[in-house]
Each structure stands twice: as structure tokens, then as C-alpha cells.
Amino acid sequence: MLVVMQSNATEEQVRAVCQRIEALGFRPHPIPGAGRTAIGITGNSGAVDTSSLESMPGVVECIPVSKPYKLVGRDIKEENTIVRVPTPSGEVTFGGKAVAVVAGPCAIETREQAFTIAERIRASGTRLFRGGAYKPRTSPYTFQGLGEEGLRILADIREKFGLGIVTEAIDNDSLDLVERYADVIQIGARNMQNFSLLKRAGHTRKAVLLKRGMSATLDEFLMAAEYVMSEGNYQVILCERGVRTFADHTRNTLDLSVIPAVQRLSHLPIVVDPSHGTGRRNKVLPLSRAAVAAGADGLLVEVHHDPAHALSDGPQSILPEEFDQLVREVRAIAAVLGRTLN
């Protein structure tokens, strides 16, 4: 159920409606839009008796939401959500006019490795650095990440290079730590349906970058975002990172058609990870171009100065000079669409 407020409804009127929804035993989610605020109601298992809400000052109407997702869908908010990420070198936005670029190694391996890559990323004009301190690996015998030591290295990179930090939480315990260091908390493909982690991410005040599960349908992907939003965190960035198919010329099949599909149904920004999406270094540049051409709100790219010795995802990591080229080309494509790079 959705309570649509008048365009000139006061904050007080919105608050009063929220209080009434709480008194009915439900949870209100006021979502301000360009023209008006809509208040989503969650926590109801059946229809909500709206008669007491409809007569309240400032209310236009109460409309049932037919889709399974209430907060993620365009019913509640017609215009795109812009997720704003503060970094030491200014705000980076996802979902606005600018295409956001996030780059860095798969994993933080050593201080020297991370600093070398961060310096190159910053020199390209990029303001968000990625790198895992906690790595969800298929094998328990491969590099699992440096843990909190990796987060401390990321904090130093933030300070030294002015880069905002995007890093993954793999469970509720690591999220407690990650939220202290990260500007954006990544939730990985393998955790897209880790519902307790999604709910926990809903309680943080940091933006969440939610990756699509490798076999997730669009509805499942959007419902995962709904979990985060239903707990009160509306700063969600969706990320397409490839799905499993029969194709064996790439690690995954990058589903670029999900970009316009998401944009039709949801107001949330969607970015593309061409690194995991292809698993092959030589395919990262063409798929980055294609992602931006298809309307992606950003890119998440793995970069390593010595991929042959990377402790994870070396084969899909591009070199810093290749990343420079990527930034140049993607900026030109964004310009054709009236967009910039941020």
C-alpha cells in the first residue's frame, strides 16, 4: 500500500501519517519525490484498512501496490533515485547525469600493492576505489582476504589519495567492521539472498552496492534490494555482474539487457561489473563501452598492476594503462548520451 501525499503537504502532515501507520502496527517509509512524497507501508500481510489514512490532511489517495516489491518499484517514486556518496575529493553520484566509475583490485593483498594501484586509479580522475578485505572464495584454501588489516589499508588509501572506499561485507560480523571504514558497502553475488545480511545492511547509514546473484532473476534481484530498503536504508545501488549460462568463452554471461529492464521497473541506479561479467581481461573494455551505451549508471572494474601475480581474479584484471584508456573511451560514449563521468 502506498499513501500519496499532496505536492504541498507539510512535513508535519507527512509525519502525522507515518505515526498513524505505526499506530496501525505497520512500518511507514516516506520517500520524497520531485513532485510529492509517497509513503510506502510495509509489515502488512494483507490489505490495510486505509479509511483512517485517506481522510488525513495532506493525503491525496491510498493505492495498493500490485508488485511484490513496494519500495524498489517506480510506483512509489517515478523519478530516478540518486545515491550520493561523499568522498574526500567530493561527492560521487549514482543514478544522476554522471556515470560513476569504481576501480581497484579484486582483493587488498598488501599495503604496497593497494597503494600502487590506488595511485594510478586516482591519477585517472576516478574517485572511488574498490578492493576486498573479506573475500568470498569458492575454495577455503585460496586467499581469503586480509580482514581488518585490509580495511586499515583502505582507510589509509582514503586519507592519502582522497579516494572513497567500496568494499565487501561477507557476513553480519564483517559488516559491523566494514561499515566503519567503507563509503559504500558491497554485498556480493553469493550473498544476494543472504537475507539476514541484507536486513543488517538495511540498518547501516552507508550506501549498499548489491550484486546480482549468478542465477538470480530480475524479480529476485529486486526483492533482495527490497530487503535492504524495507529496513530503512534507501541508498541502494544495483550491480549486474554476469549470470551463469552454457557459454564457456567467458566466466559469466554479462546480461546488459537487465539495465533497461531494471530501469523500467525500478528507480534505483544500476551499475555494471564487466570484470566478473566476463572473467577475461580482453573483454572488459568492449563490455564497459557497451554497458555505458546501454544506459548503465556506473562501472565497477578490477585493475591490477601485476595481474599475473594477483592473489585473486588476475585473469580478469586490467592494467592501469588499460584502465586509463577505458576511462577515456567511456567518457566519450557517455557524452554522446548527454552524460558525464564522475
Residue ranges binding ligand PEP (CB under 6 A): 106, 132, 136, 188-190, 211, 241, 276
| Terminal Cα distance for the chain, rounded | 36
Under the criterion CB under 5 A, does residue 284 sit at the interface with Mn ion?
Answer: no
Stretch of residues binding Mn ion (CB under 5 A), selected from 43-51, 106-114, 227-235, 258-266: 106-114
Rounded-to-integer distance, Cα 111 and Cα 238, Å:
29
Candidates 154, 159, 113, 119; CA nearest to 134 is 154
CB of 156 to ligand PEP, least distance (A): 20
Run of H or E including 101: strand 98-104
User: Can you tell me which of 14, 71, 85, 106 binds Mn ion, judged by CB under 5 A?
Assistant: 106
| CA angle, residues 87, 90, 92, in degrees to nearest 5 | 70
With beta carbons less than 8 A apart as the criterion, state whether 120 and 199 touch: no
Q: One-letter amino acid identity for 244?
A: R
Binding to Mn ion, residues 310-329 (CB under 5 A): 313
Of residues 276 and 283, the one with the C-beta less far from ligand PEP: 276
269 binds, among ligand PEP, Mn ion, none (CB under 5 to 8 A by kind): none
CB of 313 to Mn ion, least distance (A): 4
Under the criterion CB under 5 A, does residue 108 sit at the interface with Mn ion?
Answer: no
243 binds, among Mn ion, ligand PEP, none (CB under 5 to 8 A by kind): none
Going by their DSSP bridges, the two strands 184-187 and 207-211 should be labelled as: parallel
With beta carbons less than 8 A apart as the criterion, state whether 5 and 13 touch: yes
Q: Could you tell me the three cell numbers for 234?
A: 534507501
Under the criterion CB under 5 A, does residue 273 sit at the interface with Mn ion?
Answer: no
Stretch of residues binding Mn ion (CB under 5 A), selected from 56-64, 78-86, 102-110, 257-265: 102-110
Of residues 111 and 190, the one with the C-beta less far from ligand PEP: 190
With beta carbons less than 8 A apart as the criterion, state whether 184 and 145 touch: no
Using CB atoms within 10 A of its CB, is residue 287 exposed (0-12), middle (13-18) or buried (19+)? buried
211 binds, among ligand PEP, Mn ion, none (CB under 5 to 8 A by kind): ligand PEP
CB of 66 to ligand PEP, least distance (A): 31
Where do contacts with Mn ion occur on this chain (CB under 5 A)? 106, 313
